Structure 1
Protein backbone atom coordinates (compact mmCIF):
# COMPACT_ATOMS: atom_id res chain seq x y z
CA UNK A 1 0.00 0.00 0.00
CA UNK A 2 1.32 3.43 -0.93
CA UNK A 3 2.49 5.38 2.07
CA UNK A 4 2.52 2.30 4.33
CA UNK A 5 5.12 2.93 7.05
CA UNK A 6 4.19 0.44 9.74
CA UNK A 7 7.41 -1.54 9.40
CA UNK A 8 9.18 1.43 11.03
CA UNK A 9 6.64 2.23 13.76
CA UNK A 10 6.33 0.01 16.87
CA UNK A 11 2.66 -0.81 17.45
CA UNK A 12 1.13 -1.99 20.71
CA UNK A 13 -2.41 -0.85 20.10
CA UNK A 14 -5.35 -1.73 22.29
CA UNK A 15 -7.76 -4.33 20.86
CA UNK A 16 -9.16 -1.98 18.23
CA UNK A 17 -8.96 -4.60 15.49
CA UNK A 18 -11.17 -7.10 17.36
CA UNK A 19 -14.03 -8.39 15.16
CA UNK A 20 -17.63 -7.37 15.75
CA UNK A 21 -18.87 -9.03 18.92
CA UNK A 22 -22.33 -10.27 19.87
CA UNK A 23 -22.56 -7.90 22.83
CA UNK A 24 -21.06 -4.57 23.84
CA UNK A 25 -21.38 -1.85 26.46
CA UNK A 26 -20.43 1.71 25.58
CA UNK A 27 -19.73 3.47 28.87
CA UNK A 28 -19.01 7.22 28.94
CA UNK A 29 -18.12 8.94 32.22
CA UNK A 30 -16.99 12.32 33.48
CA UNK A 31 -14.19 12.59 36.05
CA UNK A 32 -14.87 14.49 39.24
CA UNK A 33 -12.69 17.37 40.43
CA UNK A 34 -9.76 16.82 42.72
CA UNK A 35 -6.50 14.88 42.91
CA UNK A 36 -8.15 11.84 44.50
CA UNK A 37 -10.38 11.39 41.44
CA UNK A 38 -7.41 11.59 39.09
CA UNK A 39 -5.49 9.09 41.23
CA UNK A 40 -8.43 6.68 41.07
CA UNK A 41 -8.67 7.05 37.29
CA UNK A 42 -4.94 6.40 36.89
CA UNK A 43 -5.16 3.28 39.07
CA UNK A 44 -8.15 1.98 37.11
CA UNK A 45 -6.47 2.54 33.74
CA UNK A 46 -3.39 0.74 35.02
CA UNK A 47 -5.44 -2.24 36.17
CA UNK A 48 -7.58 -2.76 33.06
CA UNK A 49 -5.63 -5.74 31.71
CA UNK A 50 -5.84 -7.52 35.06
CA UNK A 51 -9.56 -6.82 35.28
CA UNK A 52 -10.08 -8.26 31.79
CA UNK A 53 -8.26 -11.42 32.88
CA UNK A 54 -10.25 -11.61 36.13
CA UNK A 55 -13.56 -11.66 34.27
CA UNK A 56 -12.54 -13.20 30.95
CA UNK A 57 -10.96 -16.37 32.38
CA UNK A 58 -14.46 -17.73 33.02
CA UNK A 59 -14.87 -18.30 29.29
CA UNK A 60 -11.89 -17.62 27.07
CA UNK A 61 -14.08 -18.22 24.03
CA UNK A 62 -16.14 -15.24 25.19
CA UNK A 63 -13.36 -12.93 23.87
CA UNK A 64 -13.83 -10.19 26.46
CA UNK A 65 -11.99 -6.97 25.66
CA UNK A 66 -12.12 -3.33 26.69
CA UNK A 67 -10.74 -0.26 24.95
CA UNK A 68 -10.18 2.80 27.14
CA UNK A 69 -10.25 6.19 25.40
CA UNK A 70 -9.66 9.62 26.91
CA UNK A 71 -11.32 12.96 26.15
CA UNK A 72 -9.51 16.24 25.58
CA UNK A 73 -10.13 17.85 28.98
CA UNK A 74 -9.15 14.76 30.97
CA UNK A 75 -6.05 14.26 28.83
CA UNK A 76 -4.81 17.68 29.94
CA UNK A 77 -5.28 16.64 33.58
CA UNK A 78 -3.46 13.33 33.08
CA UNK A 79 -0.66 14.59 30.81
CA UNK A 80 -0.48 18.38 30.64
CA UNK A 81 2.88 18.43 28.89
CA UNK A 82 2.02 16.37 25.80
CA UNK A 83 -1.10 15.37 23.88
CA UNK A 84 -2.07 13.73 20.56
CA UNK A 85 -1.82 16.24 17.73
CA UNK A 86 -5.49 16.24 16.67
CA UNK A 87 -7.22 15.61 20.00
CA UNK A 88 -9.94 18.17 20.75
CA UNK A 89 -13.59 18.19 21.87
CA UNK A 90 -16.28 17.10 19.43
CA UNK A 91 -17.21 20.01 17.17
CA UNK A 92 -21.01 20.45 17.00
CA UNK A 93 -22.53 20.83 13.53
CA UNK A 94 -25.49 23.09 12.83
CA UNK A 95 -26.83 21.87 9.51
CA UNK A 96 -29.64 23.42 7.45
CA UNK A 97 -32.13 20.86 8.82
CA UNK A 98 -30.36 18.62 11.34
CA UNK A 99 -27.80 19.16 14.10
CA UNK A 100 -24.96 17.04 15.48
CA UNK A 101 -24.66 17.97 19.16
CA UNK A 102 -21.51 17.91 21.27
CA UNK A 103 -21.98 16.17 24.62
CA UNK A 104 -19.74 15.62 27.68
CA UNK A 105 -17.37 12.72 28.20
CA UNK A 106 -13.93 12.31 29.80
CA UNK A 107 -13.56 8.55 29.47
CA UNK A 108 -14.99 5.97 27.09
CA UNK A 109 -14.87 2.28 27.89
CA UNK A 110 -15.77 0.18 24.85
CA UNK A 111 -16.48 -3.24 26.35
CA UNK A 112 -16.98 -6.19 23.98
CA UNK A 113 -17.60 -9.90 24.31
CA UNK A 114 -19.48 -12.81 22.78
CA UNK A 115 -21.53 -13.01 25.99
CA UNK A 116 -23.58 -10.23 27.58
CA UNK A 117 -22.84 -11.50 31.09
CA UNK A 118 -19.11 -10.99 30.58
CA UNK A 119 -19.73 -7.39 29.52
CA UNK A 120 -22.02 -6.90 32.52
CA UNK A 121 -19.59 -8.30 35.06
CA UNK A 122 -16.67 -6.32 33.68
CA UNK A 123 -18.66 -3.05 33.72
CA UNK A 124 -19.84 -3.74 37.28
CA UNK A 125 -16.32 -4.32 38.60
CA UNK A 126 -14.94 -1.40 36.57
CA UNK A 127 -17.42 1.04 38.09
CA UNK A 128 -16.80 -0.40 41.55
CA UNK A 129 -13.11 0.35 41.04
CA UNK A 130 -13.74 3.91 39.85
CA UNK A 131 -16.21 4.55 42.66
CA UNK A 132 -16.97 8.20 43.37
CA UNK A 133 -14.19 9.38 41.04
CA UNK A 134 -16.56 9.50 38.08
CA UNK A 135 -20.11 10.34 37.10
CA UNK A 136 -21.84 8.22 34.46
CA UNK A 137 -22.83 10.26 31.42
CA UNK A 138 -24.13 7.43 29.26
CA UNK A 139 -24.36 3.65 29.37
CA UNK A 140 -25.55 1.99 26.18
CA UNK A 141 -25.89 -1.75 25.64
CA UNK A 142 -25.34 -2.88 22.07
CA UNK A 143 -26.13 -6.20 20.44
CA UNK A 144 -25.47 -7.89 17.14
CA UNK A 145 -28.65 -7.90 15.07
CA UNK A 146 -29.02 -10.87 12.72
CA UNK A 147 -26.25 -10.80 10.05
CA UNK A 148 -24.57 -7.59 11.30
CA UNK A 149 -27.50 -5.38 10.29
CA UNK A 150 -28.68 -2.17 11.91
CA UNK A 151 -32.28 -1.73 13.04
CA UNK A 152 -33.03 -0.03 9.72
CA UNK A 153 -32.47 -3.43 8.10
CA UNK A 154 -29.19 -2.76 6.28
CA UNK A 155 -25.79 -4.39 6.76
CA UNK A 156 -23.55 -2.00 8.73
CA UNK A 157 -19.78 -1.62 8.49
CA UNK A 158 -19.45 -3.00 4.95
CA UNK A 159 -16.71 -0.50 4.04
CA UNK A 160 -14.50 -1.34 7.04
CA UNK A 161 -10.81 -1.91 6.32
CA UNK A 162 -9.55 -5.45 6.88
CA UNK A 163 -6.21 -7.10 7.58
CA UNK A 164 -3.18 -4.89 6.97
CA UNK A 165 -5.42 -2.00 5.97
CA UNK A 166 -6.66 -1.61 9.57
CA UNK A 167 -3.56 0.07 11.05
CA UNK A 168 -3.21 2.31 8.00
CA UNK A 169 -6.77 3.56 8.52
CA UNK A 170 -7.25 3.39 12.28
CA UNK A 171 -3.89 3.76 14.06
CA UNK A 172 -1.68 6.84 14.37
CA UNK A 173 1.73 6.36 12.74
CA UNK A 174 4.93 8.26 12.13
CA UNK A 175 3.08 11.56 11.72
CA UNK A 176 2.75 11.69 15.54
CA UNK A 177 5.35 9.17 16.67
CA UNK A 178 4.93 9.77 20.41
CA UNK A 179 1.34 8.54 20.11
CA UNK A 180 1.85 5.86 17.44
CA UNK A 181 -0.51 2.94 17.90
CA UNK A 182 -3.28 5.11 19.30
CA UNK A 183 -6.54 5.94 17.60
CA UNK A 184 -8.98 8.85 17.58
CA UNK A 185 -12.49 7.76 18.52
CA UNK A 186 -15.77 9.51 17.76
CA UNK A 187 -19.06 8.30 19.23
CA UNK A 188 -22.64 9.31 18.47
CA UNK A 189 -25.99 7.83 19.51
CA UNK A 190 -28.62 7.93 16.78
CA UNK A 191 -32.31 7.28 17.46
CA UNK A 192 -34.39 5.98 14.54
CA UNK A 193 -38.00 6.69 13.65
CA UNK A 194 -38.73 3.17 12.45
CA UNK A 195 -42.38 3.87 11.68
CA UNK A 196 -41.49 6.70 9.29
CA UNK A 197 -38.64 4.64 7.82
CA UNK A 198 -40.92 1.69 7.14
CA UNK A 199 -43.51 3.95 5.53
CA UNK A 200 -41.21 5.10 2.69
CA UNK A 201 -40.68 1.57 1.35
CA UNK A 202 -37.59 -0.44 0.45
CA UNK A 203 -36.90 1.25 -2.89
CA UNK A 204 -36.49 4.72 -1.37
CA UNK A 205 -34.63 3.27 1.60
CA UNK A 206 -32.08 1.74 -0.76
CA UNK A 207 -31.58 5.05 -2.60
CA UNK A 208 -30.99 6.86 0.69
CA UNK A 209 -28.49 4.27 1.96
CA UNK A 210 -26.83 3.60 -1.40
CA UNK A 211 -27.01 -0.19 -1.12
CA UNK A 212 -29.55 -2.91 -1.74
CA UNK A 213 -31.28 -4.10 1.40
CA UNK A 214 -31.26 -7.86 0.89
CA UNK A 215 -27.86 -8.57 -0.67
CA UNK A 216 -25.92 -5.38 0.25
CA UNK A 217 -24.86 -4.44 -3.29
CA UNK A 218 -23.67 -0.86 -3.87
CA UNK A 219 -25.92 1.39 -5.94
CA UNK A 220 -25.00 4.41 -8.04
CA UNK A 221 -26.43 7.72 -6.86
CA UNK A 222 -29.58 8.52 -8.83
CA UNK A 223 -29.32 12.33 -8.78
CA UNK A 224 -26.20 14.44 -9.25
CA UNK A 225 -27.22 16.89 -6.53
CA UNK A 226 -28.24 14.29 -3.94
CA UNK A 227 -25.67 11.77 -2.76
CA UNK A 228 -26.54 8.67 -0.77
CA UNK A 229 -25.38 8.00 2.78
CA UNK A 230 -22.74 5.66 1.35
CA UNK A 231 -21.33 8.36 -0.92
CA UNK A 232 -21.40 11.14 1.67
CA UNK A 233 -19.56 8.90 4.16
CA UNK A 234 -16.80 8.15 1.62
CA UNK A 235 -13.90 10.58 2.08
CA UNK A 236 -11.41 11.21 -0.73
CA UNK A 237 -8.62 13.78 -0.32
CA UNK A 238 -7.50 16.27 -3.04
CA UNK A 239 -4.88 13.75 -4.20
CA UNK A 240 -7.60 11.20 -4.92
CA UNK A 241 -6.75 8.95 -1.94
CA UNK A 242 -9.74 7.40 -0.17
CA UNK A 243 -9.50 7.43 3.63
CA UNK A 244 -11.30 4.66 5.53
CA UNK A 245 -12.26 4.52 9.19
CA UNK A 246 -12.94 1.48 11.35
CA UNK A 247 -16.56 1.31 12.54
CA UNK A 248 -17.79 -0.93 15.31
CA UNK A 249 -21.39 0.32 15.30
CA UNK A 250 -24.03 -1.66 17.15
CA UNK A 251 -27.82 -1.51 17.42
CA UNK A 252 -29.40 -0.71 20.77
CA UNK A 253 -32.95 -0.18 21.92
CA UNK A 254 -35.95 -0.96 24.05
CA UNK A 255 -39.17 -2.06 22.33
CA UNK A 256 -41.15 -1.21 25.46
CA UNK A 257 -39.96 2.40 25.32
CA UNK A 258 -40.19 2.47 21.52
CA UNK A 259 -36.50 3.33 21.46
CA UNK A 260 -34.52 2.06 18.46
CA UNK A 261 -31.04 3.24 17.64
CA UNK A 262 -27.52 2.81 16.34
CA UNK A 263 -24.44 3.56 18.43
CA UNK A 264 -21.89 4.93 15.99
CA UNK A 265 -18.29 4.44 17.03
CA UNK A 266 -15.52 5.23 14.58
CA UNK A 267 -11.80 4.64 15.07
CA UNK A 268 -9.51 6.66 12.84
CA UNK A 269 -5.86 7.49 12.31
CA UNK A 270 -6.85 11.01 11.26
CA UNK A 271 -9.60 12.80 13.17
CA UNK A 272 -10.29 15.11 10.25
CA UNK A 273 -11.60 12.16 8.22
CA UNK A 274 -14.58 11.60 10.54
CA UNK A 275 -15.07 15.35 10.92
CA UNK A 276 -15.26 15.71 7.13
CA UNK A 277 -17.66 12.78 6.90
CA UNK A 278 -20.03 14.35 9.43
CA UNK A 279 -19.80 17.75 7.75
CA UNK A 280 -20.84 16.15 4.47
CA UNK A 281 -23.70 14.31 6.15
CA UNK A 282 -25.14 17.23 8.13
CA UNK A 283 -24.24 20.23 5.92
CA UNK A 284 -24.45 18.50 2.56
CA UNK A 285 -22.31 18.02 -0.54
CA UNK A 286 -23.12 20.32 -2.25
CA UNK A 287 -24.24 22.49 0.67
CA UNK A 288 -27.87 21.81 1.50
CA UNK A 289 -27.88 18.33 -0.04
CA UNK A 290 -27.55 16.70 3.36
CA UNK A 291 -27.78 12.98 4.13
CA UNK A 292 -31.47 12.09 3.87
CA UNK A 293 -30.91 9.30 6.38
CA UNK A 294 -30.93 12.08 9.00
CA UNK A 295 -34.62 12.65 8.29
CA UNK A 296 -35.16 9.32 10.08
CA UNK A 297 -32.13 9.12 12.42
CA UNK A 298 -31.48 11.81 15.04
CA UNK A 299 -28.07 12.32 16.65
CA UNK A 300 -28.42 12.63 20.43
CA UNK A 301 -24.76 12.64 21.48
CA UNK A 302 -21.35 13.50 20.06
CA UNK A 303 -18.02 12.99 21.82
CA UNK A 304 -14.37 12.67 20.75
CA UNK A 305 -11.69 10.63 22.52
CA UNK A 306 -8.21 9.23 21.97
CA UNK A 307 -7.50 5.55 22.64
CA UNK A 308 -3.75 5.46 23.38
CA UNK A 309 -1.50 2.50 22.81
CA UNK A 310 -1.02 0.08 25.69
CA UNK A 311 2.39 1.54 26.56
CA UNK A 312 1.07 5.11 26.53
CA UNK A 313 -1.88 4.06 28.67
CA UNK A 314 0.59 2.56 31.16
CA UNK A 315 2.54 5.83 31.26
CA UNK A 316 -0.62 7.80 31.93
CA UNK A 317 -1.52 5.37 34.71
CA UNK A 318 1.88 5.62 36.38
CA UNK A 319 2.49 9.38 36.02
CA UNK A 320 2.65 11.47 39.15
Structure 2
Protein backbone atom coordinates (compact mmCIF):
# COMPACT_ATOMS: atom_id res chain seq x y z
CA UNK A 1 0.00 0.00 0.00
CA UNK A 2 1.30 3.42 -0.87
CA UNK A 3 2.28 5.47 2.19
CA UNK A 4 1.29 9.13 2.45
CA UNK A 5 2.02 11.74 5.13
CA UNK A 6 -0.35 11.43 8.09
CA UNK A 7 -1.84 14.86 7.49
CA UNK A 8 -2.00 14.85 3.67
CA UNK A 9 -5.41 16.22 2.83
CA UNK A 10 -7.65 15.32 -0.03
CA UNK A 11 -7.60 18.02 -2.69
CA UNK A 12 -10.03 20.26 -0.80
CA UNK A 13 -8.08 23.50 -1.27
CA UNK A 14 -7.96 23.38 -5.06
CA UNK A 15 -9.67 26.14 -7.01
CA UNK A 16 -13.00 25.51 -8.74
CA UNK A 17 -12.54 24.09 -12.22
CA UNK A 18 -14.54 24.61 -15.40
CA UNK A 19 -16.64 21.51 -14.86
CA UNK A 20 -17.88 19.76 -11.74
CA UNK A 21 -20.17 16.93 -10.75
CA UNK A 22 -21.52 16.75 -7.20
CA UNK A 23 -23.16 13.53 -6.03
CA UNK A 24 -24.74 12.44 -2.74
CA UNK A 25 -25.22 8.73 -1.96
CA UNK A 26 -27.08 6.88 0.79
CA UNK A 27 -26.31 3.28 1.68
CA UNK A 28 -29.09 0.75 1.25
CA UNK A 29 -30.44 -0.96 4.34
CA UNK A 30 -29.37 -4.52 5.21
CA UNK A 31 -26.46 -4.41 2.77
CA UNK A 32 -22.80 -5.26 3.34
CA UNK A 33 -21.18 -1.90 2.65
CA UNK A 34 -17.61 -2.24 3.91
CA UNK A 35 -16.16 -4.02 0.84
CA UNK A 36 -17.57 -1.36 -1.46
CA UNK A 37 -16.26 1.42 0.78
CA UNK A 38 -12.80 -0.15 0.80
CA UNK A 39 -12.84 -0.26 -3.00
CA UNK A 40 -13.93 3.39 -3.11
CA UNK A 41 -11.04 4.41 -0.86
CA UNK A 42 -8.63 2.77 -3.29
CA UNK A 43 -10.43 4.27 -6.27
CA UNK A 44 -10.14 7.85 -4.99
CA UNK A 45 -6.35 7.71 -4.94
CA UNK A 46 -6.31 5.96 -8.31
CA UNK A 47 -8.60 8.51 -9.99
CA UNK A 48 -6.66 11.46 -8.64
CA UNK A 49 -3.29 10.11 -9.73
CA UNK A 50 -4.53 8.97 -13.14
CA UNK A 51 -6.27 12.17 -14.19
CA UNK A 52 -3.48 14.43 -12.93
CA UNK A 53 -1.29 12.65 -15.47
CA UNK A 54 -3.89 12.44 -18.24
CA UNK A 55 -5.26 15.99 -18.22
CA UNK A 56 -3.52 19.20 -19.34
CA UNK A 57 -2.14 21.01 -16.31
CA UNK A 58 -3.25 18.20 -14.02
CA UNK A 59 -6.24 20.14 -12.77
CA UNK A 60 -8.61 17.33 -11.92
CA UNK A 61 -9.63 15.92 -8.56
CA UNK A 62 -12.00 13.65 -6.68
CA UNK A 63 -12.85 14.44 -3.04
CA UNK A 64 -15.03 12.19 -0.85
CA UNK A 65 -16.89 13.31 2.26
CA UNK A 66 -18.43 10.91 4.77
CA UNK A 67 -21.58 11.65 6.79
CA UNK A 68 -22.10 10.96 10.49
CA UNK A 69 -24.39 7.93 10.03
CA UNK A 70 -22.04 6.36 7.49
CA UNK A 71 -19.05 6.94 9.77
CA UNK A 72 -20.84 4.87 12.46
CA UNK A 73 -22.02 2.16 10.04
CA UNK A 74 -18.54 1.74 8.60
CA UNK A 75 -16.90 1.59 12.05
CA UNK A 76 -14.47 4.35 11.15
CA UNK A 77 -12.08 5.72 13.81
CA UNK A 78 -13.34 6.88 17.19
CA UNK A 79 -13.65 9.35 18.71
CA UNK A 80 -15.23 10.96 15.66
CA UNK A 81 -14.12 14.33 14.29
CA UNK A 82 -15.16 16.80 16.99
CA UNK A 83 -17.85 18.61 14.99
CA UNK A 84 -19.13 15.81 12.75
CA UNK A 85 -22.84 15.26 13.31
CA UNK A 86 -26.06 15.10 11.36
CA UNK A 87 -26.87 18.60 10.19
CA UNK A 88 -29.99 20.04 11.82
CA UNK A 89 -32.18 22.69 10.15
CA UNK A 90 -31.46 26.35 10.81
CA UNK A 91 -34.89 27.98 10.87
CA UNK A 92 -35.48 31.69 10.68
CA UNK A 93 -38.77 33.53 10.76
CA UNK A 94 -39.12 33.30 6.96
CA UNK A 95 -36.49 30.93 5.52
CA UNK A 96 -35.01 27.59 6.61
CA UNK A 97 -31.70 25.90 5.87
CA UNK A 98 -33.16 22.42 5.49
CA UNK A 99 -31.42 19.20 6.51
CA UNK A 100 -31.33 16.26 4.10
CA UNK A 101 -29.74 12.78 4.33
CA UNK A 102 -26.45 11.69 2.82
CA UNK A 103 -23.82 9.07 3.61
CA UNK A 104 -21.18 9.88 1.00
CA UNK A 105 -20.54 13.03 -1.03
CA UNK A 106 -18.28 13.21 -4.08
CA UNK A 107 -16.90 16.45 -5.48
CA UNK A 108 -15.48 15.79 -8.95
CA UNK A 109 -13.57 18.58 -10.73
CA UNK A 110 -12.07 18.64 -14.22
CA UNK A 111 -11.02 20.94 -17.00
CA UNK A 112 -13.18 18.77 -19.24
CA UNK A 113 -16.57 17.28 -18.36
CA UNK A 114 -15.30 13.96 -19.74
CA UNK A 115 -13.00 13.72 -16.71
CA UNK A 116 -15.89 14.18 -14.27
CA UNK A 117 -18.08 11.81 -16.27
CA UNK A 118 -15.50 9.02 -16.24
CA UNK A 119 -14.76 9.47 -12.53
CA UNK A 120 -18.44 9.25 -11.64
CA UNK A 121 -18.91 6.24 -13.90
CA UNK A 122 -16.15 4.41 -12.02
CA UNK A 123 -17.56 5.41 -8.62
CA UNK A 124 -21.07 4.35 -9.64
CA UNK A 125 -19.88 0.92 -10.72
CA UNK A 126 -18.70 0.30 -7.17
CA UNK A 127 -21.53 1.95 -5.24
CA UNK A 128 -24.60 1.06 -7.33
CA UNK A 129 -25.17 -2.37 -5.73
CA UNK A 130 -25.02 -1.00 -2.16
CA UNK A 131 -26.17 2.65 -2.32
CA UNK A 132 -28.70 4.95 -3.93
CA UNK A 133 -27.78 8.24 -5.58
CA UNK A 134 -29.84 11.02 -3.97
CA UNK A 135 -28.36 13.93 -5.92
CA UNK A 136 -26.33 14.37 -9.08
CA UNK A 137 -25.65 17.98 -10.05
CA UNK A 138 -23.54 19.00 -13.05
CA UNK A 139 -21.92 22.37 -12.44
CA UNK A 140 -20.13 24.62 -14.90
CA UNK A 141 -18.09 27.81 -14.89
CA UNK A 142 -20.37 30.69 -15.91
CA UNK A 143 -18.54 33.50 -17.69
CA UNK A 144 -15.93 35.12 -15.38
CA UNK A 145 -16.80 33.06 -12.31
CA UNK A 146 -20.31 34.45 -11.86
CA UNK A 147 -23.36 32.74 -10.44
CA UNK A 148 -26.48 32.58 -12.56
CA UNK A 149 -27.68 35.61 -10.60
CA UNK A 150 -25.04 37.55 -12.53
CA UNK A 151 -22.63 38.40 -9.70
CA UNK A 152 -19.11 37.01 -9.23
CA UNK A 153 -19.29 34.19 -6.69
CA UNK A 154 -16.67 33.54 -4.03
CA UNK A 155 -14.91 36.91 -4.09
CA UNK A 156 -14.25 36.68 -0.32
CA UNK A 157 -12.65 33.24 -0.67
CA UNK A 158 -9.18 32.74 0.82
CA UNK A 159 -6.41 32.68 -1.80
CA UNK A 160 -2.99 31.07 -1.98
CA UNK A 161 -1.75 29.35 1.18
CA UNK A 162 -4.71 30.74 3.13
CA UNK A 163 -7.00 28.25 1.38
CA UNK A 164 -5.27 25.31 3.05
CA UNK A 165 -5.23 27.09 6.40
CA UNK A 166 -8.95 27.80 6.47
CA UNK A 167 -10.07 24.56 4.77
CA UNK A 168 -8.00 21.91 6.53
CA UNK A 169 -8.05 20.72 10.15
CA UNK A 170 -4.82 21.29 12.05
CA UNK A 171 -4.43 21.62 15.82
CA UNK A 172 -8.20 22.13 16.23
CA UNK A 173 -8.50 18.32 16.23
CA UNK A 174 -5.09 16.58 16.21
CA UNK A 175 -6.56 13.13 15.51
CA UNK A 176 -7.95 14.41 12.23
CA UNK A 177 -5.23 16.68 10.90
CA UNK A 178 -5.50 16.94 7.15
CA UNK A 179 -9.27 16.42 7.19
CA UNK A 180 -11.93 18.96 6.30
CA UNK A 181 -15.56 19.64 7.17
CA UNK A 182 -17.61 19.58 3.99
CA UNK A 183 -21.05 21.22 3.93
CA UNK A 184 -23.33 21.38 0.89
CA UNK A 185 -26.63 22.98 -0.10
CA UNK A 186 -28.45 22.88 -3.43
CA UNK A 187 -30.09 26.25 -4.08
CA UNK A 188 -32.70 26.99 -6.74
CA UNK A 189 -33.18 30.61 -7.82
CA UNK A 190 -36.42 32.41 -8.67
CA UNK A 191 -35.02 34.06 -11.77
CA UNK A 192 -38.36 35.56 -12.81
CA UNK A 193 -38.49 37.55 -9.58
CA UNK A 194 -34.75 38.30 -9.64
CA UNK A 195 -34.69 39.70 -13.17
CA UNK A 196 -37.57 42.04 -12.36
CA UNK A 197 -35.24 43.90 -9.98
CA UNK A 198 -33.22 46.77 -11.32
CA UNK A 199 -29.44 46.40 -11.33
CA UNK A 200 -29.25 48.84 -8.43
CA UNK A 201 -31.74 46.78 -6.41
CA UNK A 202 -29.83 43.57 -7.16
CA UNK A 203 -26.61 45.21 -6.01
CA UNK A 204 -28.20 46.09 -2.67
CA UNK A 205 -29.23 42.45 -2.23
CA UNK A 206 -25.66 41.25 -2.81
CA UNK A 207 -23.76 44.19 -1.32
CA UNK A 208 -21.50 44.50 -4.37
CA UNK A 209 -21.54 46.34 -7.66
CA UNK A 210 -22.52 43.96 -10.43
CA UNK A 211 -20.12 44.88 -13.22
CA UNK A 212 -16.97 45.63 -11.22
CA UNK A 213 -17.49 43.12 -8.33
CA UNK A 214 -16.37 45.86 -5.93
CA UNK A 215 -17.87 45.65 -2.45
CA UNK A 216 -20.08 48.53 -1.33
CA UNK A 217 -18.78 50.75 1.44
CA UNK A 218 -20.26 50.19 4.91
CA UNK A 219 -22.30 53.39 4.74
CA UNK A 220 -23.98 52.21 1.51
CA UNK A 221 -24.22 48.44 1.98
CA UNK A 222 -27.57 47.30 3.49
CA UNK A 223 -27.29 45.26 6.70
CA UNK A 224 -29.44 42.54 5.18
CA UNK A 225 -27.20 42.20 2.11
CA UNK A 226 -25.50 38.89 1.41
CA UNK A 227 -21.96 40.20 1.78
CA UNK A 228 -22.77 41.82 5.12
CA UNK A 229 -24.30 38.72 6.71
CA UNK A 230 -22.17 35.99 5.10
CA UNK A 231 -18.83 37.48 6.18
CA UNK A 232 -17.63 36.64 9.69
CA UNK A 233 -15.11 37.88 12.24
CA UNK A 234 -14.08 36.53 15.61
CA UNK A 235 -14.16 38.55 18.83
CA UNK A 236 -10.76 40.06 18.02
CA UNK A 237 -11.80 41.20 14.56
CA UNK A 238 -9.96 38.44 12.68
CA UNK A 239 -11.64 37.03 9.58
CA UNK A 240 -13.34 33.66 9.90
CA UNK A 241 -13.39 32.16 6.43
CA UNK A 242 -14.47 29.05 4.61
CA UNK A 243 -13.38 27.84 1.19
CA UNK A 244 -16.37 27.96 -1.15
CA UNK A 245 -16.31 25.95 -4.37
CA UNK A 246 -19.81 26.94 -5.48
CA UNK A 247 -20.84 26.14 -9.04
CA UNK A 248 -23.86 27.18 -11.14
CA UNK A 249 -26.10 24.54 -12.68
CA UNK A 250 -29.36 24.61 -14.55
CA UNK A 251 -31.88 23.30 -17.04
CA UNK A 252 -33.24 26.37 -18.85
CA UNK A 253 -35.96 24.43 -20.68
CA UNK A 254 -37.37 23.42 -17.28
CA UNK A 255 -36.84 26.91 -15.86
CA UNK A 256 -34.43 25.46 -13.32
CA UNK A 257 -31.52 27.70 -12.34
CA UNK A 258 -29.36 27.03 -9.34
CA UNK A 259 -26.17 27.25 -7.33
CA UNK A 260 -24.57 24.28 -5.61
CA UNK A 261 -23.07 25.71 -2.44
CA UNK A 262 -20.11 23.73 -1.14
CA UNK A 263 -17.88 24.81 1.74
CA UNK A 264 -14.68 23.30 3.10
CA UNK A 265 -13.57 24.44 6.56
CA UNK A 266 -11.33 23.42 9.46
CA UNK A 267 -14.34 23.66 11.80
CA UNK A 268 -18.02 23.32 11.01
CA UNK A 269 -18.88 25.97 13.61
CA UNK A 270 -17.70 28.71 11.24
CA UNK A 271 -20.05 27.54 8.48
CA UNK A 272 -22.88 27.10 10.97
CA UNK A 273 -22.45 30.63 12.29
CA UNK A 274 -22.67 31.93 8.74
CA UNK A 275 -25.90 29.99 8.18
CA UNK A 276 -27.38 31.42 11.38
CA UNK A 277 -26.55 34.94 10.26
CA UNK A 278 -28.11 34.34 6.86
CA UNK A 279 -31.26 32.45 7.83
CA UNK A 280 -32.03 33.83 11.30
CA UNK A 281 -30.51 37.25 10.79
CA UNK A 282 -28.65 39.91 12.77
CA UNK A 283 -30.69 40.88 14.67
CA UNK A 284 -33.17 38.01 14.48
CA UNK A 285 -35.56 38.57 11.59
CA UNK A 286 -33.07 40.56 9.52
CA UNK A 287 -32.35 37.62 7.20
CA UNK A 288 -30.09 37.58 4.16
CA UNK A 289 -32.06 39.21 1.36
CA UNK A 290 -30.65 36.76 -1.20
CA UNK A 291 -32.85 34.07 0.39
CA UNK A 292 -35.93 35.83 -0.95
CA UNK A 293 -34.75 34.69 -4.39
CA UNK A 294 -32.76 31.54 -3.54
CA UNK A 295 -34.22 28.47 -1.79
CA UNK A 296 -32.09 25.77 -0.19
CA UNK A 297 -33.48 22.35 -1.17
CA UNK A 298 -30.75 20.29 0.49
CA UNK A 299 -28.35 20.61 3.42
CA UNK A 300 -25.85 17.95 4.52
CA UNK A 301 -22.64 17.82 6.53
CA UNK A 302 -19.75 15.47 5.74
CA UNK A 303 -16.13 15.03 6.78
CA UNK A 304 -13.40 14.55 4.17
CA UNK A 305 -10.69 12.51 5.95
CA UNK A 306 -6.99 12.77 5.18
CA UNK A 307 -5.53 10.51 2.52
CA UNK A 308 -3.75 8.59 5.30
CA UNK A 309 -7.09 7.58 6.86
CA UNK A 310 -8.48 6.58 3.46
CA UNK A 311 -5.37 4.46 2.87
CA UNK A 312 -6.03 2.65 6.15
CA UNK A 313 -9.35 1.47 4.72
CA UNK A 314 -8.09 0.63 1.26
CA UNK A 315 -8.51 -3.03 0.40
CA UNK A 316 -6.10 -3.00 -2.53
CA UNK A 317 -3.07 -0.96 -3.59
CA UNK A 318 -4.02 2.67 -4.27
CA UNK A 319 -1.55 3.18 -7.11
Partner of 1:43: 39
Q: What pairs with 1:12-51 in structure 2 (closer than 5 Å)? A: 12-34=8-30, 36-51=32-47
Q: Is the 8 A contact 2:21 2:138 kept in 1?
A: yes
Provide the secondary structure at the position in 1 that maps to 2:36: helix
Task: Say whether the 8 Å CA contact 2:7–2:308 is kept in structure 1.
Answer: no
C-alpha contact (below 8 Å) 2:242/2:265 kept by paired residues = yes
Q: Which has the higher contact order (CA 8 A, sep 6+)?
A: 2
2:228 to 227, 231, 241: 231
Q: Secondary structure at the match of 1:132?
A: coil
Unaligned runs of 5+ in 1: 1-8
SS in 2 for 1:151: coil
The alignment partner of 2:33 has SS state of helix
The 8 Å contact of residues 100 and 299 in structure 1, kept in 2 or not, is answered as yes
Q: Distance between the aligned counterparts of 1:55 and 1:270, measured in 2?
A: 30
1:191-216, Cα deviation, whole Å (9 max, x unpaired) = 00111111111101111101100010
* TM-score, with structure 2 as normaliser: 0.92
Q: Summarize deviations over 1:52-92 as a string: whole Å, max 9, x none.
A: 44556543446221001100111112216331011011120
- Between the aligned partners of 1:225 and 1:259, the Cα distance in structure 2 is 28
Note the aligned Cα RMSD (angstroms): 2.0
From the superposition, tell whether residues 50 and 10 of structure 1 become closer, same or farther in structure 2 (CA, over 3 Å).
Answer: closer
- Structure 2 unaligned spans of 5+: none
Instruction: Give, in whole Å, the separation in 2 of the partners of 1:170 and 1:48.
Output: 19
Q: Among 173, 186, 189, which residue is 2:183 paired with?
A: 186
How many pairs does the alignment contain? 311
Other-structure match for 2:68:
72
Please state if 1:143 is matched with 2:140: yes
Taking structure 1 as the reference length, the TM-score comes to 0.92
